[in-house]
A and B are shown apart, each in its own frame.
Chain A
């Protein structure tokens, strides 16, 4: 057993996982921030409903989302019709399909911390900025974003880590294609099923270390940020 026991298939699974997690996190920060802003500020009666929809993946088993995605993105489903009409083919078994699933599944992990941070800011900094004649965009980027920075950090870290930890949905819509949809969690499952325990240990141990380091760094940072 050498120092590096990871074969090329394992390495490609790791690369793919990191790519999926980074893209999911970026997309979610872009999509999730306006949703979080709206949820934090609105007095609309729709707030409860939108909040509930965003939080659904927290309580639903991945199999529910996986099953519906397979149907909805399939040739008879509405998303399947749309992607075929656009000449994109079908999304299951593709990287974009996994990305879409990850964005939906990880949404609450990004939206909720940002929403909490926005709510914690309150009205006063915004009013102060308005009296200084700052426009809404200016206020948002120079006042709100810096104040909500710990929320964004938590959102990004949790979004990334949660995507890395995804398994059930990927298993259901991924089709286990090396380099495209075979992420680390699926690769570990494959190793374990085939009784390749040594290979499984390398990847699984790496996942434990990764998850611990990420959460440790996050909690340490947030503690020191709270103290200042």
Chain B
């Protein structure tokens, strides 16, 4: 009996090693930090390794169309994965929403941004950072907010655009832009603002940022890709995702 157990344990061990694979993941920049945490746990728990590249969703779309070797896309929106699905570049039926993102107006300075966002109307700043709305969903959401507030035309001369949401945050974090629209996940950890001041933009001002994950055509048949999707949908990953301020 014990021998059988040992043998099966041995087999389990070797099979885990034999099946331990690698998956190339393209991750929207707002999800970089949570994904690093999830990828570390994922490797510990399953033996599979997730190799993560972070960037703007629009850029990934163009790269995937040009044959980039990504196997899983964690998008910053739901339209890009849907578009890829229509174009036959995904594994059908693999798409699901892994997080709903929140937009915040953030400044590295304490008490610079008030909790009603009045700072935008007062306009006493020289630079407002946002992600490139053409390629970054959080940038597009920022534009939507300003449009709904009727401030787009007055504030657009003050725009500085980050290539993606990570660069946008870096503009604000270094103080070169006094404030900017970033993802809540970038400035919140364990339910707390990591520093500075912020306005949590009310959800009626922009369409919910539903972030979808999908297995890409290149990831078809890769057990590590399927395992990652299951893991993302599991309780452990969900807890991490929520701790960064996303809803589900």
* Chain A residues near B (Cβ < 8 Å): 70-71, 73-76, 89-90, 92-93, 171-173, 175-177, 189-190, 192-195
- Closest-by-CB residue of B relative to A172 is B167
Q: List 29 A-B contacts (CB under 8 A).
A: A70-B176, A74-B174, A74-B176, A75-B176, A76-B174, A92-B176, A93-B127, A93-B177, A171-B163, A172-B167, A175-B127, A175-B160, A175-B161, A176-B132, A176-B161, A176-B162, A177-B161, A190-B132, A190-B134, A192-B62, A193-B56, A193-B58, A193-B59, A193-B62, A193-B135, A193-B163, A194-B62, A194-B135, A195-B58
Identify 10 new A-B residue pairs, CB closer than 8 A, beyond the known A92-B174, A175-B159.
Answer: A76-B174, A89-B126, A90-B126, A90-B176, A93-B176, A93-B177, A175-B160, A176-B160, A193-B163, A195-B58
Contacts of A195 in B (CB 8 A): 58, 61-62, 65
Tell me if B129 is interfacial: C-beta within 8 Å of chain A: yes
Contact B174 A71 (CB under 8 A): yes
Instruction: Chain B residues near A75: list those with CB within 8 A.
Output: 175-176
- Taking a contact as CB atoms closer than 8 A, the residue among B62, B65, B163, B176 that contacts A176 in the complex is B163
Contacts of A74 in B (CB 8 A): 174-176
Question: Is B171 located at the chain interface by the 8 A CB criterion?
Answer: yes
Q: A-contacting residues of B (Cβ < 8 Å)?
A: 56, 58-59, 61-62, 65, 126-127, 129, 132, 134-135, 159-163, 167, 170-171, 174-177
Q: Could you say which residues of chain B place their CB within 8 Å of the CB of A192?
A: 62
Report Cα–Cα, A195/B64, bound state, in Å.
Answer: 12
Given the complex, which residues of B lie within 8 Å of A70, measured CB to CB?
A: 170, 174, 176
A190 to B136, CA, bound (A): 12
Cα distance A194–B62 in the bound complex, in angstroms? 8
Instruction: Tell me, rounded to whole Å, the shortest Cβ–Cβ distance linking A176 to chain B.
Output: 4
Within the complex, what minimum Cβ distance (angstroms) separates A56 from chain B? 22
A73 and B56 contacting across the interface, CB-CB below 8 Å:
no
Question: For B65, what are the chain A residues with a Cβ–Cβ distance below 8 Å?
Answer: 195
In angstroms, Cα B161 to Cα A177, docked, is 7
Of the candidates A92, A171, A193, A194, the one having the most CB atoms from chain B within 10 angstroms of its own CB is A193
Query: In the complex, how many angstroms separate the beta carbon of A73 from the nearest chain B beta carbon?
Result: 7
Q: Do A194 and B134 form a contact, CB below 8 Å, given A171-B163, A176-B160?
A: yes
User: Closest approach, in angstroms, between the C-beta of A124 and any C-beta of chain B?
Assistant: 52
Q: How far is the CA of A190 from the CA of B162 in the complex (A)?
A: 11
Residues from chain A with a CB closer than 8 A to the CB of B177 are 93, 175
Contacts of B171 in A (CB 8 A): 92-93, 175
Q: Which of A71, A172, A173, A193 contacts B132 (CB 8 A)?
A: A193
**A175 CA / B171 CA spacing, docked (Å):** 8
Bound together, the chains give a CA A177 to CA B129 distance in angstroms of 11
How many angstroms between the C-alpha atoms of A214 and B154 in the bound complex?
A: 42
Contact of A76 among B62, B129, B160, B175 (CB under 8 A): B175
B160 to A177, Cβ gap below 8 A? yes
A101 to B58, CA, bound (A): 28
CA distance A57 to B132 in the complex (A): 28
**The residue from A171, A172, A193 contacting B134, defined by CB atoms under 8 A apart:** A193
With A175-B127, A193-B58 known as contacts, the answer to whether A73 contacts B176 (CB < 8 A) is: yes
B174: chain A residues within 8 A (beta carbon): 70-71, 74, 76, 92
Q: How far is the CA of A100 from the CA of B36 in the complex (A)?
A: 36
* CB-CB nearest in chain B for A76: B175
CA distance A71 to B177 in the complex (A): 12
Chain B residues near A171 (CB-CB < 8 A): 163
Name which of A75, A89, A93, A177 has the most chain B CB atoms within 10 A of its CB: A93
Question: Given the complex of chains A and B, what is the CA–CA distance between A73 and B175 in angstroms?
Answer: 10
CB-CB nearest 5 A-B residue pairs: A175-B160, A176-B161, A75-B175, A92-B176, A194-B134
**CB nearest neighbor in B for A97:** B176
**Bound Cα distance from A193 to B62, whole angstroms:** 6
Closest chain-A Cβ to B54's Cβ sits at a distance in Å of 15
User: Smallest Cβ distance from A195 to chain B, in angstroms?
Assistant: 5
Q: Nearest chain-A residue to B171 (Cβ)?
A: A175
CA distance A78 to B134 in the complex (A): 35
The interface residues of chain B lying within 8 Å CB-to-CB of A89 are 126
